[in-house]
Amino acid sequence: MKPAIYLAVIAALSLAFALPSADAHSKKEATEPTDGAVLETSPPTISMRFDMPMRVTLISLTDQDGAAHDVTRSDNMQPVSEFSAAPPALPAGQYKVDWRGLAADGHPMQGTFSFEISN
């Protein structure tokens, strides 16, 4: 086999084996409230939906001044496809949710989304 063909075959096989693992991590599919939502009242829950079970290891809720607001988890740190947490009654303002988690394959994941309460 010629060296150029040999290298092309090795490169193709390497790519073929790398592609499935790149797609194996959980992905956030949706949040409630949606990112950038403007709400009239405080949301009763903050939730996230993943395409595969995720162990959410951290969730934090902060307002526009950087003050943290406690949220009550309902999952007991178990891997879930749908995560929800209850925030306290929130006054009007802008809020940011930061989260971290571990996918089923152990890959660390993180994300953020924001919403606003207008009244």
Note whether residue 8 is domain-resident: no
Q: Is residue 73 domain-resident?
A: yes
- What mean pLDDT is reported for the chain? 85
- The mean per-residue pLDDT over the stretch 63-72 comes to 96
Asked if pLDDT for residue 83 goes beyond 80, the answer is: yes
Please check whether residue 74 lies inside any domain of the structure.
yes
Residue 43 structural domain? 26-117
Find the CATH number of the domain harbouring 94.
2.60.40.1220
Q: If you average pLDDT over residues 81-93, what whole number do you get?
A: 96
How confident is the model at residue 9, as a pLDDT?
53
Give the residue-averaged pLDDT of 44-58: 94
What is the longest distance spanned by two Cα atoms in the chain? Answer: 72
List, in order, residues 6 or more apart from 38 with CB less than 8 Å away. 115, 116, 117, 118
Question: Would you say 3 and 10 are in contact if contact means Cβ atoms under 8 Å apart?
Answer: no
Which single residue is written with the structure tokens 């790519």?
15
Assess if residue 10 is contained within a domain: no
With respect to residue 65, please indicate whether it lies within any of the assigned structural domains: yes
Give the total number of structural domains in the chain. Answer: 1
Asked if residue 11 belongs to a domain, the reply is no
Q: How far is CA 6 from CA 2, 3, 18, 19, 41, in A?
A: 6, 5, 18, 20, 63
Q: How many residues does the chain have?
A: 119
pLDDT value at position 28?
A: 82
Q: How confident is the model at residue 12 (pLDDT cuts 50, 70, 90)?
A: low
Examine residue 90 and state whether it is found in any structural domain, yes or no: yes
Q: Would residue 71 count as lying in a domain?
A: yes
